[in-house]
Amino acid sequence: MERKRRTLSLEQPRGAGDELRADVITSRDNKWLKMFRTALRGNGPERNQPIGVEGIKLVEDGLRSGLALEALLVSGAGERNLARILDIASETEAGVRRERILRTTDKLFAGIAGTETPQGVAALFRTPVWELDDVLRGPGASRGNAALVVVLAGAQDPGNVGTILRSAEAFGATGAVATRGTADPWSPKALRASAGSALRLPVLRGLAIPVLLAQLKIEQVRVIAAIAGGRRDGSERPAGPATWDFPRSLDDLRQAVAIFIGNEGAGLPVEVEHAADAAISIPMSGAVESLNAGVAASLLLYELARGRERSR
């Protein structure tokens, strides 16, 4: 069964929701529903595929951050939020094409959603094209500061990846890189955990670590390796780069820096520890061997932000 859709004439009056009575998608074989399902249940967009975003807040975040909307899908339950979402969309540069506002039933929506209690609103956004330059210079507001880049090098949990991007934005990072093999920052779970930060912060995905290290060197960005195992008793790891004292070393670190965060269990790849200008770890007490990766990264970013603020 084919999707039926009526393209609305632009002359229709713009009463709340009234002007948008497009026919409802009622077939689960509809190509749009299939695209939404893939995007909302996958592990992040393949090359040239759109970012799938679910829920009122995240859809609004995507629009506000200026991402180009490929399609908006609304079910009966989400209908009451449509007018507001379209208002936000109308203020963006790209706007929203009416024939890309799609409707379906709550039941079919539940069949494509990635959450257990879907809000009935989802969107497909074109993946933004960020360059290393964006990641080093930051979003509009940050331009002028030295680069503060968080590099996710092997984190497997999309929740941790999203949490780190959320903290990165909160503490004024200029951008983020997720190296090859890291959970995708634009996967549905990471997007949710980022609370929208993954849609705002310049993010590079899938870079090979040697390539990234070489580029950072050319750009004169210092590489800091976040390592576990800081002890209050002052004992240090035997090998690797110089271990910086935390947080004192970050107090007047105004140069461009990239903090590398490793895999939750295995830590950072050896090549990163070798290439790093410094290693840093957070002192802990008790029988704790390491902090949650999201917490550790957030603490480092927090102290870096504080140091920069103090030295202003």
Contact flags string 133-172 toward a copy of itself, x per CB under 8 A: ------x-x-----------------x---x--xx-xxxx
User: Taking the complex as a whole, how short is the minimal distance between the CB of residue 169 and a copy of itself, in angstroms?
Assistant: 4
Kindly tell me which of 8 and 302 has the beta carbon lying closer to a copy of itself.
302
By CB under 8 A, tell whether 263 contacts a copy of itself.
no
Q: Which residues have CB under 8 Å from 198's CB, separation 6+? A: 162, 165, 185, 186, 190, 191
291 binds a copy of itself (CB under 8 A): yes
Structure tokens at 128: 């933004």
Question: Applying CB under 8 A, does 278 fall inside the site for a copy of itself?
Answer: no
- Nearest alpha carbon to residue 150 among 131, 171, 181, 133: 171
117 in Cβ contact with 86 (< 8 Å): no
Taking the C-alpha atoms of residue 167 and residue 294, their distance in angstroms, rounded to an integer, is 8
The interface mask with a copy of itself, positions 197-216, x = CB under 8 A, is: x--x----------------
- Is 46 in contact with 75 (CB distance < 8 Å)? no
Size of the residue set binding a copy of itself (CB under 8 A): 33
Token pair 């969107």: residue: 123
Q: Give the range of 14-22, 92-100, 249-257, 283-291 binding a copy of itself by CB under 8 A.
A: 283-291
116 lines the binding site for a copy of itself (CB under 8 A) = no
Among 261, 294, 300, 304, contact with a copy of itself (rule: CB under 8 A): 294
Nearer to a copy of itself, 51 or 276 (CB): 51
Tell whether residue 266 is a contact of a copy of itself (CB under 8 A).
no
Enter the tokens of residue 153: 């090098």
Asked if 56 is part of the footprint of a copy of itself (rule: CB under 8 A), the reply reads no
Contact 197, 165 (CB under 8 A): yes
The single residue listed with the structure tokens 């996958």 is 42
Tokens for 230, please give them.
């800081």
